[in-house]
Amino acid sequence: MSETLSGANQAPSEKGATRRRAALTHVPLSDAPLPPLDDTAAPWPGAMESPGGVNLHVRNTPGSGDATAVYVHGLGGSSTNWTDLAGLLAPSAQGIAPDLPGFGFSEPADGFTFSLRAHADVVARLIEERGAGPVHLVGNSMGGAISLLLAAQRPELVRTLTLISPAVPDRRPDPRRLSDPRLALAYLPIVGKKARRELAALGPHERAAQVIKLCFAEPESFPSHRLAELAEEHGARIGLEWADAALSRSTMEIFRAWFSLGSGSLWSVPPKVRAPSLVVWGTHDKVISVRRAERTARLLPRGKLLVLPRTGHVAQMERPVTVARAMLGMWQSADSGRW
């Protein structure tokens, strides 16, 4: 499923560059048996926990006691984004999927800054209090940027790192790619007020459908019962007074990280990661362009890249079997010293 790059009919310099890219994209897909994909499965059960005094809603996937995978969702997402992938990987690792502060059903503590580093600290405390480390750390979108920071800052907690369309700096996003251009404005100060009002007027089902249209390359493939689950979650959050503020402030913190320079830039972080790393990106990602994929993987000292065709921003939801096989391939190769 990974893209392969041929050096045929190219100049020597182009062939050299192609060979480097081909090595970068060579990802072994495990042929180990996986459980059947059950897209009718309900979200894994969740409960409240308080790592470091922070109240988090955490979903747990029972699985192998030999390893633990920690799944970190993206902006506007929640722990339910990992239902399928966590189930497929359960024979190899038990799963822990928190709702980040301000998302899902995790109410943020007073004074929480919503910075990427603050979110990373919360996930680190969860891993520590569970006694689960080192873990297979998996992050999507904003959760990818959070996981990247955590892997660099706390290498003793991270066994492997998987980044699925991580929110690395994209200073020229194209609003035309969005399912609703108002999404590009909604969480900007002052100018976004009108867009926020209009989006807030949408019903839970409309909001859920809009999210899937934005994040999937093939939104029609999203099961109707899963759309109903997502709409129910959106409906449950309507009455939470902290929900919109958390989304807005987290968005602004991503922008702040994107425009930081020098040692404060997110691009300065990947070279500090020591763990075996897999970067997964969809060719039809409308949120963070696949143009960022190669640079992200190249900057990771032990990074490899898997680019999936006909796939959007949440490959773990749209192509869970392929992502699971790629992750298992990394885990197996890392354990044998071949990554």
- The 8-class DSSP code of residue 218 comes to S
Per-residue tokens: 325:
């096989």
User: pLDDT at residue 191 above 70?
Assistant: no
Per-residue tokens: 84:
């399928």
User: pLDDT at residue 173 above 70?
Assistant: no
Please tell me the chain's helix, strand, coil percentages from 3-state DSSP, rounded to the nearest 5. 45, 15, 40
Whole-number CA gyration radius for the chain: 19
Find the mean pLDDT for residues 220-248. Answer: 89
Structural domains of the chain sorted by starting position, each given as residue range(s) with its CATH number in brackets: 44-174+262-335 (3.40.50.1820)
**DSSP conformation letters of 251-309:** HHHHHHHHT--GGGSGGGSGGG--S-EEEEEETT-SSS-GGGHHHHHHHSTTEEEEEET
Find the mean pLDDT for residues 238-259. Answer: 87
Residue 76: how many CA atoms within 13 Å on its side-chain side? 21
The span from the CA of 226 to the CA of 205, in Å, is 11
Query: Are 281 and 170 in contact, with CB atoms under 8 Å apart?
Result: no
Q: Give one word for 14, left, alpha or beta, with left for phi > 0 and alpha for psi -120 to 50.
A: alpha
Q: What is the pLDDT of residue 248?
A: 83
Amino acid identity of residue 155, one-letter, is P
Q: What is the pLDDT of residue 187?
A: 47
User: pLDDT at residue 27 above 60?
Assistant: yes
Per-residue tokens: 177:
């790619």
Q: What is the pLDDT of residue 85?
A: 98
Per-residue tokens: 95:
């799963």
Q: What is the pLDDT of residue 170?
A: 77
Amino acid identity of residue 159, one-letter, is R
Percent of the chain exceeding pLDDT 70 equals: 83
Per-residue tokens: 320:
């869970």
- Other CB atoms within a 10 A radius of the CB of residue 262 amount to 7
Most confident of 88-102, 182-196, 205-219: 88-102
| 163: three-class secondary structure by DSSP | strand
Mean pLDDT check: name the lowest of 117-121, 215-219, 237-241: 237-241
The span from the CA of 98 to the CA of 48, in Å, is 9
Find the mean pLDDT for residues 257-274. Answer: 92
Q: What is the pLDDT of residue 168?
A: 95
Q: What Cα–Cα distance (Å) separates residue 55 from each residue in 51, 89, 107, 231, 315?
A: 7, 27, 7, 24, 28
Q: What is the pLDDT of residue 294?
A: 95
Which residues 6+ apart lie within 8 Å of 46 measured at CB? 57, 58, 59, 60, 79, 99, 105
CA 51 to chain centre: 21
